[in-house]
Structures are given as structure tokens and as C-alpha cells.
Amino acid sequence: MAADLTVNGVPSPLSAKVVGSFAYLTIRDRLPTILTKVIDTIHRTKNTFFEEYGEEGIQAEKQTISLLSKLRNEVQTDKPLLALTDDLQDTETWNQYMQRHQGLQGDQGSVSWFKSAWLYVECYMYRRIQEAVWLNPPIRDFDVFNEGKTQSFFESQQAVMALCTHLEEINKSMEQLSRSQLLDNFNTLLLVSLWGNKCDLSISAGQENSQKTSPLDSLSSLQPFILVDDSNMVWSTLISAQRPGQSGVRVDIVLDNAGFELVSDLVLADFLVSSGLAREIHFHGKSFPWFVSDVTVKDFHWTIQQTMAANHKWMSKSGFQWKSYMKEGVWSYHDHPFWTQPHEFCDMAADASDLYTRLQGADLVLFKGDLNYRKLTGDRYWDYTVSFDTALRGFGPAPLCSLRTLKANIQVGLQPGQGEKLTSQDPDWMTNGKYAVIQFHSPKSEQ
């Protein structure tokens, strides 16, 4: 891949400037499609708004649709990005970030959809959707993506049942497991969490995209599609971080999608605690609806509730266990505003030092999904063989691992020739979601 280097040796960010690029097709086609689906969802909820809020609800529906239609037109006609006008806690941060990008662009015109960094404008769109809803009380707490997220959970029930049954079998024999059996089980559940990331509604522009079959049946056939597999480093980090007198380590999971992927993350977290490897799990979600299927606090608790209420013995048992982990504080949920801002993660220490400090308390941080990978690497035109450490550009609050299925044309840490070979075999390998990486970085490895 041609990396057009800027002065300090860091390649430019991906953008829609390159006609025909994945960023270009996303902004030209997928983002307007997502906006149209949001408008349609709000329109179809009109009667509910009227029943609940009377005339005010009708007004809110009309106003929100008008704001979103205006936004869609701005995207489609490459208008300059506009300052946010709501009074949310991060409005100023977003508007300062726009100034920063305006400065970077200099006289290359205003910050706009097809001329500026893809990562920035795509995040900005979801923040503008939040603004449109927020500016129209009483529907400001309406989750425009809720329908798709709950549907993808219900469509994945067979897979969820199979996974919870598998978890029960492991937990039942936990005491008898040898170290190598523990490792095998860890690897299996890590892979289920990895491939759970295929179930993402933004890449499908909201099209149903749930896990239909048991995820356990396909792991071996999917193995050849893992391009980087650092799972052994993840395991050895978990083992070497064990301290005498402590019942396990702290693992943070930066969540991605609701639905089956979230269940796969909860099952992995359950295993980490029930095996004694982890004493606490910190989950990090989004503070408002994001990238169609990303987890909010409402999704997190709703999913545990639904699992508890399932008419399936092991699902229900898992749900009750997860509920008590939350109650006991063994598990905790956080949603720092930084996760729904456009920054690359190398900015976190400076722009969200409280979050960076919090992550430094973890013994291992798992980053789920493609958007997190794009932010870890800055969504830039890196050459395939640039190391993951280089692309992180100093981000490293703790040992970290990305569990990502590829849905954007950015990939680092490959062997010489590996990327070119993949392109000859499967030209869309970086964006079709068929391939994945388990990519590890430890701050210690930089010393």
C-alpha cells in the first residue's frame, strides 16, 4: 500500500479524498444509508412519541427528522463540518477538535466529509445524530439503534445458548482442569470473542448481521483467516501478572458491539473470573448510541437481564452469575466520553489523562473490534509490515491486545509479502470481515 508520508514520518490518515477507496465508498454510500435508516426509525416511532408525549412528541419527531435530513444532505454534498450546538458535556471538546483539524488542513479548504480524515468525519456523524436527538426533548434518550441491537441479540439465541452451555461445562469441571486444559479453554473463548466481532451493524449499514450457528463449530475452519495470532502473549501476560496472595489480575475489556459479540465478551469475562485468572473485570462502553451496534450502558444491563430471563437453564444461570458479579463489584461498567470522541488513542494520555491513568491500573486491556483498531493505529496509510508498536505511537497504558475482524483498509504488523499475497488471493481482504488479528503490545517490550 502506498504510504504517503508526512514530514514526521507518520503517514496521512485515510480519507475519502481517494475516489473509490473504502473510506470514499463508506461516506458516499454507507453513511447516507445509515442516516436514512435512522430517519425511517424515528418516523416509524411517531405514534409512540405521540402516545407518550402528545403534541410535543410529534414536534420532536418532526424536528429531529429535519435535522437528520439536513445532516444527510451535508454528507452527500461534501459541506463543511459544523460546530455542535447542543449543551452536552463534550460539545466544547468536539468543537476544539474541529479547530485542530481546520488548522491541520490550512488552506486546503474547510474540514468536510470527503476532504478530511475518515475516522474523524465518521465519528462526527454519530455525534451529530446524538445532537439531533438531544436538541429535541422529550425524545433525547431515544436510542435510534436500539431496534437493530435488540434484534441481533434475539436472532443469535441459538449461538448464545450453545455458548452458555459450553461455559457451564467448563465451570463445572474447573477444579479438575490441568494448566494446559485451562489454556485450551482460554484460547477457545478468546477466539469466540474475536469472531463475535463479525456481528457488526455499521459495516452492514444496519442489515441484519447476527450469529446464527454455534460459534464453537467454526473455530477451526476460521483459524487460517487469523493473520496475526499473539494469543500466546496474552496468556503469558495473564500468567506472569499473577501475584502471590492475590486471587487473580485486573482485565479491562474495551467493548464493541452489542448482541452476540457482547455475550461472547461476558462469557470470556466469566471464565477469567471463575478460573481464578482475574479478580476483577472493567468493561468500557459508549456513553451514547455509536456506530449502530456499539454497547451503551442500557444495552449492557439489558443483555444481562435478557440472559437471566431466558427459558434456557445455562443461559439463565450465566445471567444470574453476571448480575451478581456486577453487584459484588467483581465486574464494573464504565463509559468515559473519550470512547465516543474522534481521537486516535495516541492522544489519550494528553486529551483524557484520567482515562489513561485508569487503564494503567489494568494488567491487560482487550480492545474489541475494528473501530478500536483504527483508533489504536490512527487510521493511517501505514505499510503492512510496520510494527504494531510503531503504529501505536506511544499509546500503551498497559499490556494490550486488539481482537479485531478486518473491516477497514488499515493493517500493520504483517510479515513481508503477507499483505501482497492476501491482495492477490482476496482483493477485499481488509474490508470484508473474513479475516482477523489477535495483536498484542506490551509497554515493557519497548524498553
Ligand X SMILES: O=P(O)(O)OC[C@@]1(O)O[C@H](CO)[C@@H](O)[C@@H]1O
**Residues in touch with ligand X (CB under 6 A):** 26, 30, 197, 200, 202-203, 256-257, 291, 369-371, 374, 407-408
H helices within 199-312, ranges in order?
219-222, 231-240, 260-274, 297-308
Asked if 257 interacts with Mn ion (CB under 5 A), we say yes
Angstrom distance (rounded) from CA 144 to CA 292: 8
Question: With contact defined as beta carbons under 8 Å apart, do 148 and 176 qualify?
Answer: no
Choose among Mn ion, ligand X, none what residue 412 binds, the Cβ cut-off being 5 to 8 Å by kind: none
Q: Is the CB of 197 or the CB of 211 nearer to ligand X? A: 197
Could you report how far apart the first and last alpha carbons of the chain are, in Å? 30
Minimum separation from the CB atom of position 120 to ligand X (A): 13
Q: Is the CB of 373 or the CB of 384 nearer to Mn ion? A: 373
H helices within 135-178, ranges in order?
146-155, 157-172
Q: Is the CB of 22 or the CB of 314 nearer to ligand X? A: 22
Could you say which of 90, 294, 344, 379 contacts Mn ion (CB under 5 A)?
294
Question: With contact defined as beta carbons under 8 Å apart, do 337 and 304 qualify?
Answer: no
Half-sphere exposure at residue 392, Cβ-oriented, CA atoms within 13 angstroms: 22
Choose among Mn ion, ligand X, none what residue 374 binds, the Cβ cut-off being 5 to 8 Å by kind: ligand X
Asked if 270 interacts with Mn ion (CB under 5 A), we say no
C-alpha cell recorded at residue 221: 475452519
Choose among Mn ion, ligand X, none what residue 296 binds, the Cβ cut-off being 5 to 8 Å by kind: none
Is there a cis peptide before residue 337, judged by omega within 30 degrees of 0?
no
Minimum separation from the CB atom of position 370 to Mn ion (A): 7
Minimum separation from the CB atom of position 170 to Mn ion (A): 27
Size of the residue set binding Mn ion (CB under 5 A): 5
Choose among ligand X, Mn ion, none what residue 407 binds, the Cβ cut-off being 5 to 8 Å by kind: ligand X
Q: In this structure, is the dihedral angle defined by the CA atoms of residues 382, 385, 387 and 390, taken in order, positive or negative?
A: negative
Q: Under rule CB under 5 A, which residues in 141-160 are in contact with Mn ion?
A: none
Q: Is the CB of 257 or the CB of 303 nearer to Mn ion? A: 257
Angstrom distance (rounded) from CA 347 to CA 351: 6
Minimum separation from the CB atom of position 339 to Mn ion (A): 11
Q: In this structure, is the dihedral angle defined by the CA atoms of residues 297, 303, 305 and 306, taken in order, positive or negative?
A: positive
List the one residue out of 42, 106, 13, 27 whose CA is nearest residue 72. Answer: 27
Could you say which of 114, 120, 195, 291 contacts Mn ion (CB under 5 A)?
291
Minimum separation from the CB atom of position 159 to ligand X (A): 17
